[in-house]
Amino acid sequence: MLVETLAQDSVTEFAIDVRLGLMKKGQKEIPSKYLYDEVGSALFEVITVLPEYGLFRADERLLRENAETMAAMLPRERVVLAELGSGSGRKTSWMLGALATQRPTVYHPIEISQKALDQCCRELGQLHNVDIRPVRQPYLQGLLSVAAARRPDEQLLVLFLGSTIGNFSWCAGERFLKQVRQALTAGDALLLSADLEKPLLQLLPAYDDPLGVTASFNLNVLARMNRELDADFDLSAFRHLARYDAAERRIEMHLVSVRAQSVAIPRARCSVSFAEGETIWTESSHKYRPGEVIEIGRRAGFRPLRQWLDSEWTFAQTLFVAE
């Protein structure tokens, strides 16, 4: 019954956000979280192994090389690790392994996708000294649940990997980190990943690969509306577009209407008209400078302990402590 209620609530929220985003004046948009249904999540797992997408490998490489150092910087005997958007948990195994050699560790993968949580539990279920307790909730709601349940002698470490912070606007990202800080107590920790500025010749193919996997990932949100909201999108009437906004220092993913058309979305109670060339903005990925990551953490109420940089694919992981 709970699973059915969650599913119904998620469809209702999806319908509301689709209606608001596609009926607004000016730029049409859909929140990027809706890219990650079961099909989208599976396609994203494929994207992470593409040679053009160095971001995932940089994130994993930094964890593999530095997890033991990071774990040693956490002083308490018991650590509760909460990961916002765990996915399969593949990268997280390095941090869990390092923590579990030093102390018993409780791991809460926080995801809205049950399939992702199931895969994460399979991937990491054999780790010694790790107690996996999945949480199927949105990021902040899940973090509040974890924080409320932890023991007074436990230190909470929040992982926010994959440069998901870049999907927020500059102001929204800082606001989100402040909300994370409000869920924590002084002495808790945050490990934040952020993708950094790099040449466009390296950056753009990561979001528009020659095999078309990213295009399929982006177009899947239209297929999702067809499946869940009874829409009648013709996927062949849209194309994937990745472009760079130099002023905002962000990659933008769009879906471009290749002709004038109208689409009915019954469960969102709307019909949407598109002009030829009009786009739906589906995702942003802001690119940081190393010092900016530190400063956004400071303004959110954290003190930086150390920052690690990957030179092969310019990328940063920064360990903060809540003040």
Domains along the chain with CATH numbers? 2-30+222-286 (no CATH), 54-198+290-322 (3.40.50.150)
315 with 198: CB under 8 angstroms?
no
pTM, entire model: 0.91
69 is written with which tokens?
Answer: 């150092």
DSSP letters for 243-308: EEETTTTEEEEEEEESS-EEEEEGGGTEEEEE-TT-EEEEEEEE-B-HHHHHHHHHHTTEEEEEEE
What pLDDT is recorded for position 83? 97
**Residues whose CB falls within 8 Å of the CB of residue 250, separated by 6 or more in sequence, listed in order:** 166, 244, 284, 285, 286, 287
Question: What are the average pLDDT values for consecutive 10-residue runs of the chain, which has 323 residues?
Answer: 44 92 96 92 93 96 96 87 90 93 90 85 89 93 95 93 95 97 97 97 97 98 97 98 97 98 96 98 98 98 98 97 96
> Can you tell me the distance from the alpha carbon of 299 to that of 235, in angstroms, rounded to the nearest whole number?
43
What pLDDT is recorded for position 6? 37
258 with 295: CB under 8 angstroms?
no
Q: Which of 130, 91, 75 is closest to 108 using CA atoms?
A: 130
What pLDDT is recorded for position 10? 58
